[in-house]
Structure 1
């Protein structure tokens, strides 16, 4: 097999976004697939002896990711690392996007220590989403900081803000905080493009559910507030995390199942 990209060991770190929440798949470790698994599947099919680890855990704040995942990731000696971190900090009231970005920069510098390719994610444009739309300005400030960090440390930005497909409600899971299988697939295509990796992933796969009528959408808003947003707020007040007791789904670099 002739290699179509230069990487042989990929480690993904982060929170629920990288763990794959919103993209359920019983055959995947942890029961979720997600964009990172999808990227790894493509990369694995193009080189021999490719291995992939995913250390991401849902609910993790930036400092937890820096403290708990960066050194373990480096110990696995990857030549490709993706990191999505800071989103859970940005959506919390009173956080400073400049401070969050400054702390993230320290992590990026550490991840670049051994010259691995590092991909970092900025935030999507959430201006049209309920509740989260009010922090659009904070996300924009954070994103500009991330572009500076990437340029300074020779990292790659996976540009979620520019991925306008994500404004489609069908790209989001029912909780409206995570992406649907179609959203994760779309993000995987964007990451592969950012890496310059040719692939055969088609847009809008798996085919998204059709848009719902206006009246049903209003009913869905009420259900969402009761079943998803309310419990999320309650966890914040109780200082609980959805990741309490969760361990990484792929703690060691391993080949991917060719049947996946």
Structure 2
């Protein structure tokens, strides 16, 4: 088993940091689950980089994945979330890019698994727009993967993970609890032993004025500033596992 994950911050594992600050995330947990299920070592690479749009994911990252030696046996693909947060997002173009990746993996004889990202819209100031775009893209990708007989893991449609206990302070990225839930959804979709990981059923915390002001100052305004300057949180970053490594325990 040789597993490569490509994508953006969702797949990099942002929000689920180890004590040294390095991201873990659902893909690392899936690689560990694959190792346990196979009873032996699984080679793993994670090419995802935060802030990436879908086009560089299905071109640059997929180019690297398909060129690896030995070739991967499984690739997971997620992307499009950063595109949908921009004005004028072209959902048809995102679907075309996804289908291009599906066809390339099929031609290379590599199994592809496509994921939709978790839905953060309940917690964001522009959430209704993002929810509408996400629903349209998710349904289109669901139809696309069905036509090509590709495994599709619909994390966007998982109502449980929309709850506040699964999200980081920035309300855009999952926390460790959220990443564990996604790993369970993926392993279950692959037909492997998995835990239906659920957070405590506590009510969502009240949003007080001072806390909301701090949230906008620490998270929303820096994001807006990067957009105005044409910058990305992933600028100058490289993949955390750019070549084959043993899957983490």
1:23 corresponds, among 16, 28, 33, to 16
Asked whether the equivalents of residues 170 and 211 of structure 1 are also in contact (C-alpha less than 8 Å), the reply is no
Instruction: Note the C-alpha offset of 1:116.
Output: 2.2
1:152 corresponds, among 122, 137, 147, to 147
Which residues of structure 2 form unaligned runs of 5+? Answer: none
The 1:218/1:165 distance shift into structure 2, 3 A limit, reads farther
SS of aligned partner of 1:234: helix
Instruction: Note the C-alpha offset of 1:210.
Output: 6.0
* 1-structure distance, mates of 2:76, 2:141: 14
1:180 matched to 2:175 = yes
Instruction: Note the C-alpha offset of 1:235.
Output: 0.5
* 1-structure distance, mates of 2:208, 2:30: 32
1:211-236 deviations in Å (ceiling 9; x for gaps): 5642x544332211110011011101
* 1-structure distance, mates of 2:152, 2:64: 22
Asked whether the equivalents of residues 114 and 152 of structure 2 are also in contact (C-alpha less than 8 Å), the reply is yes
1:193 corresponds, among 182, 188, 191, to 188
Instruction: Note the C-alpha offset of 1:208.
Output: 6.5
1:229 matched to 2:224 = no
Which residues of structure 1 form unaligned runs of 5+? Answer: 1-7
TM-score, with structure 2 as normaliser: 0.91
TM-score, with structure 1 as normaliser: 0.87
When the two chains are superposed, the root-mean-square deviation of aligned CA atoms in Å is 2.0
Asked whether the equivalents of residues 13 and 84 of structure 1 are also in contact (C-alpha less than 8 Å), the reply is yes
1:49 matched to 2:65 = no
1:242 corresponds, among 227, 233, 244, to 233
SS of aligned partner of 1:113: helix
- Superposed, 1:1-260 pairs within 5 Å as 8-26=1-19, 31-47=22-38, 48-76=40-68, 77-135=71-129, 136-199=131-194, 201=195, 203-204=197-198, 213-214=205-206, 217-257=208-248, 260=249
Instruction: Note the C-alpha offset of 1:160.
Output: 1.2
